[in-house]
Chains A and B, each alone.
Chain A
Amino acid sequence: MRLDKALRTARAEGRTIAVPYLMVERRRASRLKATVLALREAGATALELGFPFSDPIADGPVLEAAANRALRGGTTWADLLEAARVTSEVLPTAVMTYANPVLRHGLEAAARTLGGAGISGLIVPDLSLEESAPWRRAARAGGLSLVLLAAPGGSDERVARLARSSRGFLYLVAYYGTTGHAAEGNRVDLAPLVNAAHRAAPSLPVLVGFGIRDRASAARALSTGADGVVVGTALEEMIQRDPRPASIERWFRRIAGTPRP
């Protein structure tokens, strides 16, 4: 359970938990190790490795296009396992993908192979709490923490249930919408949700994701009492702009170094 331990330690030490998200892409395999080393150097606590899916309904245009590109380039489950072996040597790694690719490989078998490749967490954005029981069992058997997502619009009671059932951390979606950025008026005050989660599961870190792109957005997320942030779309955009490890390191350091209030 390397993911749990790394996050809990960072939290206990009062450090900001910073989790970058990288989409697995065959074309980028040769650069992967250098990128992840740069992210660790910049202060990343753990890594989310995205496996592309053909129908990513929780993703905005940037990550949707990245998934389409990765799939057109022939990226497969084997590439994910290979990437996992590389990244988990550097940072505790969780896989983020949609329900169908995991189901297609069989819940138990997928969890076991991912665990065998060094993965210690699984995040499935279209898996609801109501459907999650067999997934939690399979994840546990494979040595993975199944991370659940909470979102605006959920009652305190619902967020509490999610926090109690989540492992590794609770992923709190920052606004009404898909990954990328919030439309006008779609942000809500996350503090009550963070509070509800912390009350229900005092030792579980709460990470805010969606729309974290710089120090200001990270600071706003941390001001709710959250323990850290997940950075996806903005990192993908950064890599498209300038994929050099030194540039990525400089850029990510500003986000990861955002202090907790």
Chain B
Amino acid sequence: MPERYGPYGGAFVPETLVPALAELERVWKEARRDPAFRRELSRLSTTLGGRPTPLYFASRLTRRAGGAEIWLKREDLVHGGAHKFNNALGQGLLAQRMGKPRLIAETGAGQHGVATAMIGAALGLRTEVYMGEVDIDRQKPNVDRMRLLGARVIPVKSGTRTLKDAINAALRDWIANVRTTHYLIGSAVGPHPFPSIVTDFQSVIGRELRRQAVRAFGRLPDLAVACVGGGSNALGTFHPLRKTSVELLGVEAGGPAGSTGAGSLSYGRPGILHGALSYVLQDADGQVSETESISAGLDYPGVGPEHAWFRDSGRVRYTAVHDQDALRAFHWLAVDEGILPALESSHALFAAVTEARRRPKEQHIVVTLSGRGDKDLGVVLGATR
């Protein structure tokens, strides 16, 4: 696992964090080679997490699109309702291995906070979650869930009061408490080795998908689609497919029509945010821009560094989907398949339907349905009224 993806990545952090990052890298590398760790990860993925998740043929959505077949990798069925569990479990076990009794996390949509709260409870680690006030308002059910799971939710009142500033707050906490605390970062962002670790634990998505696609339709899909906030469900999907001929499409939040939304890869330029060099939405002085998206989990001006490299090298194509189109896809999946998708995943669904329309029936598209939409009912109903 590299420190750099092309020129991107690295560790731009205050010196106080350097020893902790070095320890994390060492422990993670040991753990990956340790059969006992891998057994425990696999046991809990199955018995607590509900893995493997199915690959589902969305036949009525396929008919609606009228082109290539659309299949869903059902991460919405993972314990807690999103792919976030995969990473929270892995890093929770690493925290235990390092003897750190306290977990902190940031959360946007609340899914990573819920996943961390569940893992904290299951492993007996004290858990505190930073969440922007704006997100607390729009993802209320997840705030309640975190509290019921025994975590403390700390409102972040500074800056944008969304995911970006929740990460700032978590980093500040970590700087002060690094001796006793593991920062369980929720996406493939942050300083090395976090992007590699998160991608490693999320890659179970793509590994399962490969096997399941071959079993279901005899070969790998023609196209894999995933939404990109920080980029962890997308990297979990793409990383195991990167050396195959499968086309890869990452979907960012385009925000309201006519805006740049949260499209760091679509509209940003290289910059350093939260410890890594990657694409960042920023102004001419390098001040990080405020973003806007209907989906709290994608509402972030940065992106994981491996995506930056996939973009530059052309291995992955990126596009942005606007709020209204994501909402349309939300409703399509609800009435066509009886599944309420997360608004984050709805961005990927819209792009997948658009692609399916243009492609022949013989092709197969797999969309990673990164989470379920229960948390979004307030936003969806509010937008529909």
Contacts of A186 in B (CB 8 A): 176
Assess whether B164 is in contact with A177, with CB atoms less than 8 Å apart: no
Assess whether B285 is in contact with A77, with CB atoms less than 8 Å apart: yes
Assess whether B280 is in contact with A100, with CB atoms less than 8 Å apart: yes
Assess whether B177 is in contact with A126, with CB atoms less than 8 Å apart: no
What are the interface flags for B10-21 relative to A under an 8 Å C-beta threshold, 1 for contact and 0 otherwise? 111111101110
Q: Which of B41-49, B73-81, B134-142, B269-277 is found at the contact surface with chain A?
A: B269-277
Partner of A55, one of B13, B19, B164, B277: B164
Q: Does A68 contact B (CB under 8 A)?
A: yes
Assess whether B16 is in contact with A151, with CB atoms less than 8 Å apart: yes
Assess whether A153 is in contact with B19, with CB atoms less than 8 Å apart: yes
Chain B min CB distance to A57 (Å): 5
- CB nearest neighbor in B for A78: B285
B side interface size, CB within 8 A: 36
Assess whether A128 is in contact with B15, with CB atoms less than 8 Å apart: yes
CA distance A176 to B12 in the complex (A): 18
What are the interface flags for A136-178 relative to B under an 8 Å C-beta threshold, 1 for contact and 0 otherwise? 0000000000001111111100100010000000000100111
Chain B min CB distance to A189 (Å): 15
Assess whether B179 is in contact with A100, with CB atoms less than 8 Å apart: no
Assess whether A153 is in contact with B168, with CB atoms less than 8 Å apart: no
Assess whether A126 is in contact with B12, with CB atoms less than 8 Å apart: yes
Assess whether A58 is in contact with B14, with CB atoms less than 8 Å apart: yes
CA distance A54 to B164 in the complex (A): 10
CA distance A173 to B14 in the complex (A): 10
Assess whether A178 is in contact with B175, with CB atoms less than 8 Å apart: yes
CA distance A101 to B13 in the complex (A): 15
Chain B min CB distance to A169 (Å): 15
Assess whether B176 is in contact with A128, with CB atoms less than 8 Å apart: no
Q: Does A71 contact B (CB under 8 A)?
A: yes
Residues facing B in A105-156 (CB within 8 A) are 105, 125-131, 148-155
Assess whether B288 is in contact with A100, with CB atoms less than 8 Å apart: yes
CA distance A104 to B14 in the complex (A): 19
Residues facing A in B216-244 (CB within 8 A) are none
Contacts of B274 in A (CB 8 A): 55, 57
Q: Does B178 contact A (CB under 8 A)?
A: yes
Contacts of A149 in B (CB 8 A): 14-15
Assess whether B15 is in contact with A151, with CB atoms less than 8 Å apart: yes
Q: Does B50 contact A (CB under 8 A)?
A: no
Write 9 A-B pairs (CB below 8 A) sorted by A numbering: A54-B287, A55-B159, A55-B164, A77-B284, A77-B285, A100-B288, A104-B285, A131-B10, A152-B16
**12 other contacts beyond A57-B175, A103-B277, A126-B13, with CB at 8 A cut-off?**
A57-B168, A58-B172, A100-B273, A103-B286, A104-B285, A128-B15, A128-B18, A149-B14, A151-B15, A153-B19, A176-B176, A178-B172
